Amino acid sequence: MKFEFATATRILFGEGTLADAAPAAAAMGRRALVVTGASVERAGPLVRALEAAAVSTVAFPVAGEPTVDCIRTGTVQARSAGCDLVIAFGGGSAIDAGKALAAMLANPGDPLDYLEVIGRGQPLAHNSAPFIAIPTTAGTGSEVTRNAVLASPEGRVKASLRNAGMLPRLAVVDPQLTLGLPRALTAATGLDALTQLIEPYVSSRANPMTDVLCAEGIRRAADALPRACDNGQDREARSAMSWASLLGGFALANAGLGAVHGFAAPVGGMFPAPHGAVCAAVLPHAMAINVEALRRRAPGHPSLARYAEIARLVTGRPQATADEGVAWVADLCRRLEIPQLRAYGVTGADVPDLVTRAAQASSMKANPIVLTPDEMCEMISRAI
């Protein structure tokens, strides 16, 4: 047994833990850039607690998924205001933005100097400025990952800033913050969490540590996601989903992802489709085609047994087969009314371009088996 496991320096999990964020921030800096979603007001209680703890704040709202330009603007603002700390309070977009800003605050130059795929991909020489991540959704796990996904609207692509020095100094996961999430957002972000547990579990980079985390997370998410969608005030289900999302973050940061996220990067770059919704639309088809490809070309592959284990975890039945696991996930997507990708303007004419781009995506490298172009066409076509 041999593996490496890296995560946030410190994690606070549980209802009410938001109250511990301000005192922790006071030990890291005096002036915080507070990165939020479109609504700064939601972070009002946090901002007041920071000011009371003698940490002054500069608000930086991010509407939608962060772009390279948004990070340039925020870096200038944070530098001119003398910020020595970044706190992100929001969904995956706010957390990725905050993580990228904390990295750029400590490193010279432009985000494109460091971005994968679309930039020069240079390593970030310095660890990020102190960064606290406070998720208000349960899905991305970005509070414990080392990358920030940024969009370049000119190139219609998304790419990551990635470095071990970008792992947050503190993650505060307070499930109470997710209680007000609307049903559709709960469904899409929750299925992102489930994807980020299933893909690392069958990944070519899976390790014994991530295996344990994925099995627990898949079981929890399968049980809690329908309940959190049916009743948004179900505190036990919300807590279980925040836990599953955190486990997914641990897993993806240490074992990688797969074909679903391989497609999510170009689809999200080319169309105005939220990340969680794209993953949810592709997940059942990626599972089905991976299982078929493994049976055809690598019948003894250990990931095939993993797909059967996933079926047992989601159905709770010891005899469940891989195909029944795929059917269970497809049925969940139907029950949660996940739209097909055509709802975002994706058409059959986009398939060749999406396949070419997905084949180059970093996530695709961890898929359990190398897919043929035909298999990738079939996967994305079924999701459209």
List contacts with Zn ion (CB under 5 A). 192
Min CB(141)–Zn ion separation in Å: 8
Min CB(21)–Zn ion separation in Å: 24
Q: Which is nearer to Zn ion, 143 or 192 (CB)?
A: 192
Rounded CA-CA distance 315/287 in Å is 16
Q: Which is nearer to Zn ion, 43 or 366 (CB)?
A: 366
Min CB(196)–Zn ion separation in Å: 5
Min CB(279)–Zn ion separation in Å: 5
Q: Which is nearer to Zn ion, 169 or 261 (CB)?
A: 261
Q: Of 129, 153, 170, 163, which is closest to residue 30 (Cα–Cα)?
A: 129
Q: Of 265, 283, 293, 374, which is closest to residue 328 (Cα–Cα)?
A: 283
* Cβ 252 vs Cβ 264: under 8 Å: no
Q: Which is nearer to Zn ion, 107 or 363 (CB)?
A: 363
Min CB(195)–Zn ion separation in Å: 6
CA angle 14, 135, 4 (to 5 degrees): 85
- Burial class of residue 298, CB neighbours in 10 A (0-12, 13-18, 19+): middle
Min CB(338)–Zn ion separation in Å: 14
Min CB(305)–Zn ion separation in Å: 24
Long-range contacts of 327-331 (CB under 8 A, 24+ apart): 328/222, 329/194, 329/198, 329/283, 329/284, 329/287, 330/284, 330/288
Q: Which is nearer to Zn ion, 67 or 195 (CB)?
A: 195
Q: Which is nearer to Zn ion, 60 or 344 (CB)?
A: 344
- Is 82 strand, coil or helix? coil
Cβ-closest residue to Zn ion? 192
Kindly list the strands in the beta sheet with 131-135, ordered across the sheet, starting from the edge strand earlier in the chain.
10-13, 170-173, 131-135, 85-90, 31-36, 56-61
Rounded CA-CA distance 143/187 in Å is 19
Rounded CA-CA distance 66/70 in Å is 6
User: What tokens appear for 309 in the block?
Assistant: 């284990």
Q: Which is nearer to Zn ion, 192 or 378 (CB)?
A: 192
